[in-house]
Chain A
Amino acid sequence: MEMIGEFEYLILSSAARLGAQAYGASIRIEIEKATGRRCSIGALYTTLDRLEGKGLVDTWMGEPTRERGGRSKRLVQVTATGVKEASNFFRTISRISKGASWTTNRPTTR
């Protein structure tokens, strides 16, 4: 399997942090808080579909709730393969970042 993308990693990490409370709106809020950028619903749900297609997450419809106007959530759970792929991504990013000026607080060479 090829390495996951940056946005896929953001979703996997958010879903893993949120645990049982991981669903569309909560993942979106987590990503926006962490990145300081807007996360579009279109990008979120198409990426979630892709992750589900790759077997990295499982999704299912939850119970309708009052604060959602009686509508259901799409709950998300990271699978074991998802955890493995997210770990690989994190390790790769950590390895490639070693020695880079922004990790060592050294001034840039030029």
Chain B
Amino acid sequence: MDNEPTNYPMSSRKSWPIVLWLSGFLGQAEKEVVLGDLTEYGESGSRAIASVLGLVVRRKSAVFLDLRLWLAVALVVLPVSYLLSAIAESTAGEGAVYSWMYLNNWDWVLTRNPGFWHVLREMAMNFSITCLVLACWSWSAGFVIGRFPNAILQVSRNTFIVLLAASFLVDAPTRFIHFWMFLHGLPLRPSLPDIHAPITANAFYHVFFPWIVLTILVVLPAFSGVRQGNRSSLFERKMRVVLVTAAIISVLIMLIQVPSFGLLLGAPVRQWMWRNRNAMQVPPLLCCWPMFYFIAIGVGRYGRCKAAITQCTR
């Protein structure tokens, strides 16, 4: 063997920080075992790096051979990231219009008009509900992903974020509509003048605002949902079934909110939805169940803390 083990302590070698950094990609138990083996074996610096790197590559690539990962991506991660990016985009557009109207064009004279306050109240309420529903949908989607097996969880979560950003970046919903119209031989709509041109001309609303909305209302709630979904394995079976069912129903309800997805439902269903458009506003509100989940968790914790304090004071 060309590179025999040496008797110098591993931890005093220059390569040790690299070995430590690489071993951070392994699980905690495996990291300890591998570092212990290298220390005991007295592996030379470059060999130690190659050994750990080899194991990391094997571990990370093994997940891509797992059929469950590809099924999860195809059936859940891809459609959900597409739906959320579509809804986030329309929410960002709506928010940009309101923000531009009220912040960039504020006029104190308007405040003397009672109609101004009426419209502002109504707008603020509607937009708050839209944001809340989007955040709850993102949380529910994250919760569903969080229930995936641990072996594929991290890669599924990262794939979700990448697909979400990619879908948002290339404006996948609009492209999907064009593709669908092309497939059905429908003429593409003529490009009309942009009625929001003054807003889209503003770099903040055009470039930064959509990403801020995506981060705050989709990425952060989804991450929280993934964490809660993963932790929910500690709950009782019945509770787990209820939570997962609620999360799946919420994700399915998202479908009716996405205009481009409605194309797949067929004309009769779309007409029925249009006739019952007022009733169709109710299901998204039901998707706000994560709020009640958090309230229940908060109340539970408060109760436990109170009981513990009472016990201590006795």
A positions within 8 Å CB-CB of B = 24-25, 28-29, 32, 36-38, 40-43, 45-46, 61, 64-65, 67-69, 71-74
Contacts and interface: CB of A to CB of B under 8 A. Distances in A.
Interface of B: 1, 3, 10-11, 29-30, 32-41, 50-52, 54-59, 62
Nearest to B54: A42
Contacts of B32: 61, 71-72
Nearest to B43: A41
A67 B1 contact: no
A42 B51 contact: yes
B37 A46 contact: no
Nearest to B30: A45
Contacts of A25: 36-37, 40-41
Contacts of A46: 55, 58-59, 62
A66 B38 CA distance: 13
A36 B51 CA distance: 17
6 contacts: A25-B41, A45-B30, A64-B36, A67-B40, A69-B39, A71-B39
B236 to A, nearest CB: 29
Given A25-B41, A41-B55, A46-B55, A71 B1 contact: no
Contacts of B50: 40
A40 B54 contact: yes
B188 to A, nearest CB: 52
Nearest to B33: A74
Nearest to B36: A71
Nearest to A24: B37
A46 B57 CA distance: 11
Given A41-B34, A46-B62, A71-B35, 14 more contacts: A24-B33, A24-B37, A25-B37, A25-B41, A36-B1, A42-B58, A43-B54, A46-B58, A67-B39, A69-B39, A71-B36, A72-B33, A72-B36, A73-B33
Contact of A42 (B29, B33, B36, B55): B55
Contacts of B54: 40-43
B37 A40 contact: no
Contacts of B30: 45
Contact of B34 (A38, A45, A64, A67): A45
Contacts of B52: 41
Contacts of A67: 39-40
B37 A69 contact: no
A61 B27 CA distance: 13
A25 B52 CA distance: 13
Contacts of A38: 1, 3
Nearest to B51: A41
A41 B34 CA distance: 8
Contacts of B11: 69
Contacts of B10: 69
A22 to B, nearest CB: 13
Nearest to B29: A61
B28 to A, nearest CB: 11
Contacts of A74: 29, 33
B37 A28 contact: yes
A35 to B, nearest CB: 10
Nearest to A45: B55
Nearest to B39: A69
Contacts of B40: 25, 65, 67-68
A37 B36 CA distance: 22
Given A25-B41, A32-B1, A46-B58, A61 B33 contact: yes
Nearest to B56: A42
Most buried by B among A32, A38, A41: A41
